[in-house]
Amino acid sequence: MKFNILDLLLPRETKFYDHFEEQADILIKAALVFHDLMTHLEKMPEHEIKQKIGEIKELETKGDTVEHKIIDDLSQTFITPFDREDIHAMAVNIDRALDILNSSVNKIDMYNIRKTPAHVIHFADIIVDMCKELRTLMGLFRAKGNVDETVAKIHQYENKADYLFHISMADLFNNNTNAVEIIKFKEVYEHLENLTDCVDYIAKTIRGIIVKLG
């Protein structure tokens, strides 16, 4: 990272790194609850299912609060650590990942899905791994470290998710004659695949910021 005399003369606000790390922490917690729910769904009592869904909703609400804080701070900060557009894009997309996760469990509940296909559990595995790598990436980003390896790992997970999505859809249409079941799980798979795309986009945004900062 190049030395910039402006960083000494006009110190840049660093609170945004705190906000992004908080968003990433919330996303990991939600991903872990989702993983637990999907792994044990078939044997989980109904009240516990509702509890897990409620936990994800609470985390999604916390994520909304942090996103709003970032947007408010952005409007009140004279010098930001990097481009305002990038700060906005990161805040919105991390929050979007949380929204998608919350929407996914809502659909599972609404459609009364109480037996988890293996593909959904594999998606949950990938999502947890991606979110953990994203949290690592946030730390490297703050420290101005080398992010390339972590960004590459996140993209590899996204590639796995793309492949899993295609396999899941093929199995769904080839091995299921119930149109209602196809519609249900098609929506769930699309949501989970969109979530992994979202996390990958955040990682690429950070890589782009590093490139611009030089």
CATH code at 158? 1.20.58.220
Domain assignment present for residue 49? The answer is yes
- Residue 176 has a pLDDT of 82
Domain assignment present for residue 33? The answer is yes
Torsion (CA) 142, 82, 62, 115 in degrees, nearest 10: -80
Domain assignment present for residue 58? The answer is yes
DSSP the chain: ----THHHHSPPP-HHHHHHHHHHHHHHHHHHHHHHHHHHGGGS-HHHHHHHHHHHHHHHHHHHHHHHHHHHHHHH-SS-SS-HHHHHHHHHHHHHHHHHHHHHHHHHHHTT--S--HHHHHHHHHHHHHHHHHHHHHHHHHTT---HHHHHHHHHHHHHHHHHHHHHHHHHHHS---HHHHHHHHHHHHHHHHHHHHHHHHHHHHHHHHHHH-
- Residue 214 has a pLDDT of 74
Domain assignment present for residue 5? The answer is no
Domain range for residue 121? 10-213
Domain assignment present for residue 4? The answer is no
Domain assignment present for residue 3? The answer is no
- Residue 12 has a pLDDT of 57
Domain assignment present for residue 142? The answer is yes
- Number of domain units in the chain: 1
- Residue 13 has a pLDDT of 63
Domain assignment present for residue 2? The answer is no
Spell out the per-residue pLDDT of the chain, length 214, in tens: 444 544 443 345 688 999 999 999 999 999 999 999 999 999 999 999 999 999 999 999 999 999 999 999 999 888 888 899 999 999 999 999 999 999 999 999 999 999 999 999 999 999 999 999 999 999 999 998 999 999 999 999 999 999 999 999 999 999 888 999 899 999 999 999 999 999 999 999 999 999 888 7
